Structure 1
Amino acid sequence: MERRVVITGMGIYSCIGTSLEEVKQSLYEGKSGIVYDQERKEFGFQSALTGMVPKPDLKNLLNRRQRISIGEETEYAYMATIEALQNAKIDDAFFDEHEVGILYGNDSVSKAIIEATDIIREKKDTALIGSGAIFKSMNSTVTMNLSTIFRLRGVNMTISAACASGSHSVGLGFHLIKSGLQDIIICGGAQEINKYAMASFDGLGVFSPNEANPAKASRPFDSSRDGLVPSGGGATLILESYESAIKRGAPIVAEVIGYGFSSNGGHISTPNVEGPATAMRRALAQAGIQPNEVGYINAHATSTPLGDANEARAIYEVFGESNPHVSSTKSMTGHECWMAGASELIYSTLMMQHGFIAPNINFEQSDEASEKLNIASKTVNKNFDIYLSNSFGFGGTNSAVVVRKLKE
């Protein structure tokens, strides 16, 4: 018998807030977290815009041995995980008595690799890199460090799937718990925001050049959109079997009921319509619901001309006249890349909990594709029971997750 999967804790460290309460308020107010970064301009960036998050102070939280092994993305993930565990009522002693797993999305460790390489180039001696460098520079840095810090004994893997990484981590965690292989899994996504991580992306010329007005630069679905804005941080969701949550008296935030995936099978960076549509249909089918039961769609829409248009076509193809509200929280946060699929589940769950739909800010004029959608250009006070969140990535990887309020 397949088990139900619920969310019992969430934690967020993003450019629109470093706590659930702060983020909820930013979402409701349509507050942008995008800034102009002079350091990027001096480094040679075409666009110096970015989402910015504060550097965590971990001195009172982790010992020196732990701190030297973790890089920027893991710092964000750790801060988000602390909040998520606290909200799930999981304390430190819990890990010694229960098997807990971790599946986290991450697809780059640029800063750690470059810093280590710079030392070798200058000193001509690899011994001077330091003992923690290897643990910072592997793509699985988040899961290897967090599993050690929290003494996790369950599944332990990093999901690397470009900008769908965080979403796929939740989808795979959902399946492992649903099938009875695990009871509790820490899922999420993290993204470094340093200049090294985003330089090659900037080189593609896909970032918005609107440096004069950072808060207006990310314009998903708007006809005048001219590129995305990079961002990052950390987002953690505690997934748990319904039985486990009830047994330990855990707070149940929401229930994950569907996960759909697909691959476009085409161009490495140009998205299509059918791949995303397939992922959405699969998610709905697994959830056992009809399109008209979905009250809100958190779109992947990054503010690129072709990507947004094709997603709009895919959403209309699947949902048609049922016309649920749609918004892209990337209008406020920018594109949080490997983190986005997890953070946007948190953003959407906060909306569902508190009865509102966050605005797709900067949406002033629709184009031929977006005019068919019910895009929330301003905050909508609305109760809804089910939402779908889309995440797509380079290589044509697609993920769609369906979440609902708990039904007893």
Structure 2
Amino acid sequence: MGIIFESDTILQNPQATATHVLLVGCGEYPHLAAAGFGGLKPLTSPRLSAEAMANWFLSGPDAMPVGLAQPSDRAFYNPEAPLGSLVMLTSPAQPYQAPSGAVSPTTRPTLANIRAAYLQWLARLGANPGSRGVFHFCGHGVSDGISQYLVADDFGDLPDDPWSGVFHVSNTCQATIRKTAASLFFLVDACMELSEELINQIDDPLALIPGKRNGPPQTTEWAVLRATTANRLAYAPQDGVARFTAALLQALGGHCGSQRADGAGFDVGVSDLRDATAAFLALSQQMATGERQKLGQTEGEGDWSVAMHVQTQRPSVLVEMDVQPEGYRPVARAFMEDAAQQRDMKTLAGGPARFVKEQGEWSYGTNAQNNEYPEQFYARQFLTRAVHTCRFRIP
């Protein structure tokens, strides 16, 4: 169901150590109006967001023909847990063309279909502690003020019981960690807006799969990374990738990672990914008006250093520089210097200047084309975060 990719290794040995990915994008919601639930509307971003995630996973060496794979700053790479499978459920359920050119059908993400795909995902992960499971959901989410619930595409199919198309995130995780020893990454791109309709239900929506609270966990390496804070919305542009998913993919684009113990590359775990995603989310909204989206509380266990992805080169930092007052922009220049004092310079006439450099020691500053203001300069700054912004105040 919804299988886009299975590796030859997994086809030959289903228990081999691998990364198994389940992507869910709920957008159509054809029965919202009939259910009389006015707070939710159809969405255009979930399918695009799921496809963007699929493109990243499937552009690496595990899924592309030999010689055509993208490097680790553009696509998934994990030599310890190569891509074993990718399943995608989207609404609209349109065919998906992978970066390799292969075209596959997708499946509508009804609650029953999500549950079936989820159980298959768990079966692939099995009891292998070296495997990784990635679950990404983009669509509607609601909250009772404490817990988050995700809304499947068939919400409202049963007019007398519309909430049968909703599932509890935390309880799903608690059931899941008692069924697999794999490291788990839950990436939830959905709102947590308070829903009075949900609060007024006699029974709460259930977890996606059944489970017991008192069973010993098989894994203690898991995390839920949420797109927004409690009682808040998650945002997306019309006909574009949702803000959280876009920031997540920017972070995965070579902008985070911790040095591996053997020195061969940089592990991208949840701790690295959260910091970098938060930075890119903030950067994308710096000119926005109204409420700004911030990452929600990260739930889980472990030290969050298990690698979901491995960056082969030193991570990079995006440096953005600007001047204030903005009236100086037409004559202003921004620059960065390495240890050898080689200077990279850009003008600010079109707006803030952006540089992408390896994380490390850099000097940077601003000056004017005709010396309209004195040069401002920060020498030998150690830049290690995914994003660094600087606004120079011109006296």
Under TM normalisation by the shorter chain, which class is it? under 0.3
Taking structure 1 as the reference length, what is the TM-score of the superposition?
Answer: 0.27
Q: Larger relative contact order (C-alpha < 8 A, sep ≥ 6)?
A: 1
Going by fraction, where is strand more abundant, 1 or 2?
Answer: 2
Greater share of residues in helix? 1
TM-score of the aligned structures, taking structure 2 as reference length: 0.28
